[in-house]
A and B are shown apart, each in its own frame.
Chain A
């Protein structure tokens, strides 16, 4: 439905209130796998944000020209094309990042956030508003993914990997943790565990906020 928020609300809602990873659980699919290094998470977040913004822009421009029956197919085609473009650019200009992302760079095309946003928001809102929404979602996604990656890499590997600049190879080694990391957090099992605990903390924070507004929290589940 057409958004009834103000422009800044549309931007900010992607950060916490409708954060794609923690609230709607949409961006998980190909993203959780690259959260073992901070640089990969930042790179993936940036790539997804770019594809998201471009998709929302295009879909909101074309929304009156796409007949209903082929809507899903058209969205998929647009997203796949934009994702391929971003992939090729990454392959040419940031080859290290592209190699880090590996298979998951190509899977940005099926990232559920992009499809959901195109379908629910860009289809019914103006181009400008859609871009703002995409920007908010992209930033929220990147922040959430980076948080997961920070925890996983610091505790699981004892390092923080950022981008190499001017001779420094980009890796910060945390004293103490670097010698005795919790290796399992760097593996896929760690992704599940870290995400589970972070989501629980997020739920607890939301419950406390909700109870502060007078809602009844004794009735159990939030998500």
Chain B
């Protein structure tokens, strides 16, 4: 697939949160305020890109040649956990400001479905190394987009008169559902028309 195709697919057409329903736990818990949502989204972009690339490396250079692809879940998870730990150390070491904005969200990403999800998707789709990196990056951008929009909606919703059983999580999910319906407009036909 072309790179433009990859970007549009994982940002809009197959947005990991709204279409694949991955990463919901952090999506629902961290989007109450715009700044925390933006922090999470940015951390996601970094982690997803690197995770997609590193898992490609492990899959194609270690698992495939040795014929032990059944170990992919275990190895991918080890890579992701290690990656997040390394990022945490680096952000803490390099800049206090970066650490206080991104650092608190990194532990949440160790066992996040979206990060493992994009790794598995990229491997199943047989992307090359650079395409995997791109796919991870686009998935992260898609996640950032959706969390920022959701946080804005939820901040406004806090001021509205909402029936008591709906306050908090339920109305957030209904809003997410409406957003997902809006994103239905981005489908493969759209992709084909855009790219010919």
Residues of A within 8 A of B (CB): 25-26, 28-30, 32-33, 72-73, 76-77, 80-81, 83-84, 87-88, 103, 106-107, 109-112, 115, 184, 187-193, 195-197, 199-201, 203-204, 207, 217, 220-223
Knowing A29-B22, A33-B20 are in contact, say whether A110-B74 is a contact too (CB < 8 A).
Answer: no
Knowing A80-B73, A220-B164 are in contact, say whether A200-B170 is a contact too (CB < 8 A).
Answer: yes
Q: Which residues of A contact B23 (CB under 8 A)?
A: 29
Is B21 touching A191 in the complex (CB atoms < 8 A)? Answer: yes
Min Cβ gap A34→B in Å is 9
Q: Which of B162-190 contact A (CB under 8 A)?
A: 163-174, 176-178, 180-181, 184
Q: Which residues of A contact B95 (CB under 8 A)?
A: none
**Chain A, Cβ-Cβ closest to B172:** A196
Q: Which residues of B contact A191 (CB under 8 A)?
A: 21, 177
Instruction: Pick 29 A–B contacts, CB within 8 A, sort by A.
Output: A25-B169, A26-B25, A28-B24, A29-B23, A29-B25, A30-B117, A33-B20, A77-B77, A80-B73, A80-B78, A83-B73, A84-B70, A84-B73, A103-B124, A106-B73, A107-B113, A115-B111, A187-B184, A188-B18, A188-B20, A192-B180, A193-B174, A196-B166, A196-B170, A196-B172, A196-B173, A199-B170, A203-B166, A222-B165
Knowing A33-B20, A112-B25, A207-B165 are in contact, say whether A196-B171 is a contact too (CB < 8 A).
Answer: yes
Knowing A29-B113, A72-B110, A76-B111 are in contact, say whether A103-B165 is a contact too (CB < 8 A).
Answer: no
> How many of chain B's residues have a CB under 8 angstroms from any CB in A?
44
Question: How long is the Cα–Cα vector from A44 to B120 in the complex, in angstroms?
Answer: 18
Q: Which residues of A contact B22 (CB under 8 A)?
A: 29-30, 33, 107
Question: How long is the Cα–Cα vector from A194 to B74 in the complex, in angstroms?
Answer: 33
Q: Which residues of B contact A76 (CB under 8 A)?
A: 77-78, 81, 110-111
Question: How long is the Cα–Cα vector from A77 to B169 in the complex, in angstroms?
Answer: 31
Q: Which residues of A contact B177 (CB under 8 A)?
A: 189-193, 196
Q: Which residues of A contact B72 (CB under 8 A)?
A: 106
Q: Which of B22-78 contact A (CB under 8 A)?
A: 22-25, 28, 70-74, 77-78
Min Cβ gap B105→A in Å is 16
* Interface flag for B90 (CB, 8 Å): no
Question: How long is the Cα–Cα vector from A195 to B164 in the complex, in angstroms?
Answer: 16
Is A32 touching B171 in the complex (CB atoms < 8 A)? Answer: no
Knowing A84-B70, A84-B71, A220-B167 are in contact, say whether A189-B184 is a contact too (CB < 8 A).
Answer: yes
Knowing A29-B23, A80-B74 are in contact, say whether A110-B174 is a contact too (CB < 8 A).
Answer: no
Is B77 touching A203 in the complex (CB atoms < 8 A)? Answer: no
* Most chain B CB inside 10 Å of its own CB: which residue of A76, A189, A207: A189
Is B111 touching A107 in the complex (CB atoms < 8 A)? Answer: no
Question: How long is the Cα–Cα vector from A76 to B83 in the complex, in angstroms?
Answer: 14
Is B116 touching A107 in the complex (CB atoms < 8 A)? Answer: yes
**Chain B, Cβ-Cβ closest to A114:** B111
Question: How long is the Cα–Cα vector from A28 to B113 in the complex, in angstroms?
Answer: 10
Q: Which of B1-24 contact A (CB under 8 A)?
A: 18-24
Question: How long is the Cα–Cα vector from A106 to B124 in the complex, in angstroms?
Answer: 12
Is A107 touching B110 in the complex (CB atoms < 8 A)? Answer: no
Is B120 touching A29 in the complex (CB atoms < 8 A)? Answer: no
Q: Which residues of A contact B24 (CB under 8 A)?
A: 28-29, 32
Question: How long is the Cα–Cα vector from A223 to B168 in the complex, in angstroms?
Answer: 6
Knowing A30-B113, A80-B74, A189-B181 are in contact, say whether A103-B120 is a contact too (CB < 8 A).
Answer: yes
Knowing A192-B177, A204-B165 are in contact, say whether A72-B81 is a contact too (CB < 8 A).
Answer: yes
| Extra inter-chain contacts (17) besides given A87-B73, A189-B180, CB under 8 Å | A29-B23, A29-B24, A29-B25, A29-B113, A77-B74, A81-B74, A84-B70, A84-B71, A109-B116, A187-B180, A188-B20, A193-B177, A196-B169, A196-B172, A196-B174, A199-B173, A221-B168
